[in-house]
Structure formats: C-alpha cells, structure tokens
Amino acid sequence: MGGVSSPLDELPLRDDLRGMSPYGAPQESVPIALNVNENTHPVPEDVADDILDGIAVALQEVNRYPDREFVALREAFADYLGQGLRRENLWAANGSNEVLQQVLQAFGGPGRTVFGFGPTYSMYPLLARGVGSDWIAGERAHDFTLTPESAARQVADADPDVVFLCAPNNPTGTPMPLEVIEAVYDACRGVVVVDEAYQEFAPHDQPSAVTLLHERPRLAVSRTMSKAFAFAGARVGYLAASPAFTDALRLVRLPYHLSALTQAAALGALRHADTMLAMVDDIVAQRDRMGATLSALGYEPYESWSNFILFGGVDDPQRTWRALLERGVLVRDVGLAGTLRVTAGTEEETTAFLEQLASIDSHS
C-alpha cells in the first residue's frame, strides 16, 4: 500500500527462483543501438501501408475472439518455408521465446532436463528454469564450433529430455552443419529443437534444418519474424515439426494466444516476403564489411552467419563498451572474456560504429 512494494524475499516465491535475475539487455537512448540484434532497417512504407490495411480489417471484428487455430497464418508460414510442409506442420506464438516456452511446457517440466551447447542463447536456461527443468550446458571448441562426434557424445552422456541447438548460434554467430543436427538427433531420446532465428542471414546455398524434418518426429525447427522481417516489435515466432509435435503444443498453449491483430500483421508481412528479405542482403553486406574492417583494426571477428558479429581482442570489454556508449553507439558485452558483440545495422550505422571503435584504444 501507499506505493511501496514488498521485497521479493517476503513473497512466497518458488525456492528455485530465489536469487535469480530476469533476462535483460541494457536499454539506453542512443543514436545508434546495435546491441540486441534487431533489424535496424524500417519496414518499407508500401509494406507498412498494406499491413495497416490488414490490421484495420481485423479491427472491425476485434470484439470477437481471433481464430484460435490461426489457420491462414500457418498456411502462409508453410508456403514460406516450402519443403512440402502443410499447415499441420506449423505452429506460431508471440515471438520464438513463447514457442520455445511452449515446447518446454509440453516436453520439459520438473524432473526433466534441457541441454544446450554453451555459450548459447541466454534465454534457454531461463526458460528451462521457468518450467522447473534442470539446465545442462555442453561444451564447444575454442572457436565455438561443434563436430558431429563431440556433439553426439555429449548428448548421449547427458541423456536430456530436450535439446536446444542454436543455428547459427547466438551470441557467437557460429554456423551449425546439418551433420551435427543429425548426429544429435540420433544420439537423443528426447526432442531436438533447432533454433533458426538467424537462418535467413546464412549463405543462400546452405540448407535449413527444415530439410531434415521428414521422418524425424522428435525434431522441430523454430524461426522468428523479428530479425529478417524487421518485425521485432510485432512479436511473432513460429515452428515447423511433425503434426504430432504441433498437436502436443496445443495441450499447453493459452486459448486464443495469438491476437487477431498479430495474425493480420504477420500475414501482411508474409505477403511481402520478397521485399522484406531484400533487406537481408544489405545487412549481410554490412556484416561482412564490419568483419573485414574489424580484422584490419586488429580485432578478431568470429565467423558469423547471423546479423551480428562477435569479435575478440578487446582488452577491457566494459571500458570499451562504455567508451562507445559515450560516443552514442550501444553494443553488447555478452560476458565472454575479451569480446564484444555488435549488430550489423544500416551502412550509416555500421560506419559510425567502426569510426568510433577506431578512435578507442581497446586491443588486448
């Protein structure tokens, strides 16, 4: 009462959540924000207008519940992914984090384990903890790569109920060969989820894990519209899997979990997939330019198939992060020694980052 909230330790919180911290990235008001792997290109005006028209139509019936099965959206995602997928193979939710949460609600839970190869996406252990599952972190090579033999051995030893494979990996950008995914699946009795949030930024000739779905009922591939489609604020993620897998997610989803407005917005963006994805080539060009310039400046950029680059050779990451922030550029310290991570932005944003970094003495 009186505007004063009780300390968290005075509430009957679950014991396994005590002392934990929520997910978070610094949110600063700066001219150039390159810290959370957003697509910094705005949605083209003609596409935005068409999306708004679709939302306006949906608003006329917003007094009614939305299509609980979001049939049209699932069909649109199936068309986008191809590979002979049908709407029965597709699922969607409010961002890929909710998709992954629903997977854990269905296949994880107390007494079950969730496995991933660290360092990887920091939300995986938080999502696991949220459903009462134990998180097991496997290991990568010094350059963050994985071999099929090492990956399969680690998974077999851990015997997890759920495996998360981030491909390309976040926060390192590391590619994951399909051979690794196949080896992990064969070594695992549980479900394997390949998180392809950044797949559209991989080389065009590199196949997606979607090509592995046939006759692998325990395999699922999650995607997001946040990155390639510049739709981070719309919160739309989706998953492709066997019909039985998507049926399992129905058991745990909240009723009408995707609003009519969300469905309309996503459908509008998918109608313009070619236009939206044209931005990807520009981002990849800036990523590669950034990698080349970082090398020329004496840093050590890691191979990346994503829309960001992790680079080493930083003597004091926090000092460099702060110096860049003071110059109006926000990047990310992901906690890996001697490294920082930066999102590939527009040409102007990338230029500003590189110029400001060059003005800072931050080499190890």
Instruction: Reply yes or no on whether the pLDDT at 1 is more than 50.
Output: no
pLDDT in tens, 90-116: 999 999 999 999 999 999 999 999 999
Q: Give percent above pLDDT 90 in the chain.
A: 90
**Higher pLDDT residue, 5 or 14?**
14
Instruction: Reply yes or no on whether the pLDDT at 278 is more than 60.
Output: yes
Q: Which pairing describes strands 237-241 and 219-224: parallel, antiparallel, or unpaired?
A: antiparallel
pLDDT band at 2 (very low <50, low <70, confident <90, very high): very low
Q: CB neighbours of 42 closer than 8 A, spacing ≥ 6?
A: 230
Mean pLDDT on 50-70: 96
Place of tokens 């006329």: 60
Instruction: Reply yes or no on whether the pLDDT at 36 is more than 60.
Output: yes
Positive or negative CA dihedral for 106, 110, 113, 117? positive
Residues 85 and 239: beta-carbon distance below 8 Å: no
What is the pLDDT at residue 16? 85
Residues 188 and 162: beta-carbon distance below 8 Å: no
What is the pLDDT at residue 26? 65
Instruction: Reply yes or no on whether the pLDDT at 364 is more than 80.
Output: no
pLDDT band at 362 (very low <50, low <70, confident <90, very high): low
Residues 350 and 39: beta-carbon distance below 8 Å: no
- Could you give all domains of the chain from N- to C-terminal order, each with its CATH number? 25-44+275-358 (3.90.1150.10), 45-271 (3.40.640.10)
Structure tokens, 114 = 């969730």
What is the pLDDT at residue 23? 76
Q: Is residue 13 left, alpha or beta, with left meaning phi > 0 and alpha meaning psi from -120 to 50? A: beta
In single-letter form, the type of residue at position 169 comes to N
Backbone angles phi and psi of 308, in degrees to 5: -145, 170
Q: What is the mean pLDDT of the chain?
A: 94
pLDDT in tens, 326-356: 999 999 999 999 999 999 999 999 999 999 9
pLDDT in tens, 146-160: 999 999 999 999 999
pLDDT band at 363 (very low <50, low <70, confident <90, very high): low
Q: Is residue 24 left, alpha or beta, with left meaning phi > 0 and alpha meaning psi from -120 to 50? A: beta
Q: CB neighbours of 195 closer than 8 A, spacing ≥ 6?
A: 96, 100, 121, 164, 165, 166, 167, 222
Residues 158 and 188: beta-carbon distance below 8 Å: no
Mean pLDDT on 25-48: 88
Q: Give percent above pLDDT 70 in the chain.
A: 96
pTM of the model: 0.94
Instruction: Reply yes or no on whether the pLDDT at 73 is more than 60.
Output: yes
For 16-25, 133-142, 279-288, which range has the lowest pLDDT when averaged over its residues? 16-25
Cis ω for the linkage preceding 171 (within 30 of 0): yes
Instruction: Reply yes or no on whether the pLDDT at 213 is more than 90.
Output: yes
For 25-29, 216-220, 225-229, 290-294, which range has the lowest pLDDT when averaged over its residues? 25-29
What is the pLDDT at residue 18? 84
Count other Cβ atoms within 10 Å, centred on residue 129: 17
- Residue 264 in 3-state DSSP? helix
CA gap 101, 358 in Å, rounded: 41
Mean pLDDT on 255-269: 97
What is the pLDDT at residue 84? 96
Residues 161 and 114: beta-carbon distance below 8 Å: yes
